[in-house]
Amino acid sequence: MIKQVVFLKRRKDLDLATFKDYYEAHHRKIGERVLAGFAVSYIRRYLDPAHSSTPNPPFDVITEMWFPDWAAQKACMAHLSDPVIAAEIQADEAKLFDPDAKWGGFLSEEVSVMPPVQQD
């Protein structure tokens, strides 16, 4: 499984609630449509500022796209490069994201099996 992540910061003129509402009501639907047939999972993980140790975090959401293999990931990126699709994504991203605050990459995972938590 290939896990691609993108760390994104909202535009400065958007509060977190407005940002999240728009992402989930509009941008998510574009993502679901254009990733369909390539990605097996599309997840948005929003930072909880009330419980953050950083007063002004460098990102507001981590977007995860899971692909079954490298071939599917590469095919998806080629699909997203179609000028019509790329223009649609770019126009909607301009409504949400700080264009200078976007980082991404691929993750590998190692999982530790933890003992059960003792309840008192």
Q: Is residue 45 scored above 90 in pLDDT?
A: yes
Residue 81: inside a domain? yes
Q: Which residue has the tokens 């994201």?
A: 97
| Residue 65 placed within a domain | yes
Structure tokens at 39: 């990605």
115 assigned to some structural domain: no
Q: What is the pLDDT of residues 90-105, one digit of tens each?
A: 999 999 999 999 999 9
Q: Output DSSP code: residue 4.
A: E
Residue 27: pLDDT over 90 = yes
* CB 97 within 8 Å of CB 88: no
The percent of residues in the chain predicted with pLDDT above 70, rounded, is 100
| Gap between the Cα atoms of 61 and 11, Å rounded | 12
Confidence of residue 41 (pLDDT cuts 50, 70, 90): very high
One-letter identity of residue 28:
R
Indicate whether 114 belongs to any domain: no
Parent domain of 42: 2-107
The amino acid that residue 111 corresponds to is V
pLDDT of 108 over the 90 cut:
no
120 lies in some domain: no
Asked, for residue 32, whether it belongs to a domain, the answer is yes
Q: How many domains, in total, are found in the chain?
A: 1
For the ranges 31-40, 48-57, 86-95, the lowest mean pLDDT is seen at 48-57
CATH number of the domain enclosing 48: 3.30.70.100
Whether residue 88 lies inside any domain: the answer is yes
Provide the pLDDT for residue 55: 76
Decide: pTM greater than 0.75.
yes
Which tops the pLDDT comparison, 80 or 56?
Answer: 80
CA distances (Å), 79 to each of 21, 28, 35, 104, in order?
A: 27, 17, 9, 18
Identify whether 11 is part of a domain. Answer: yes
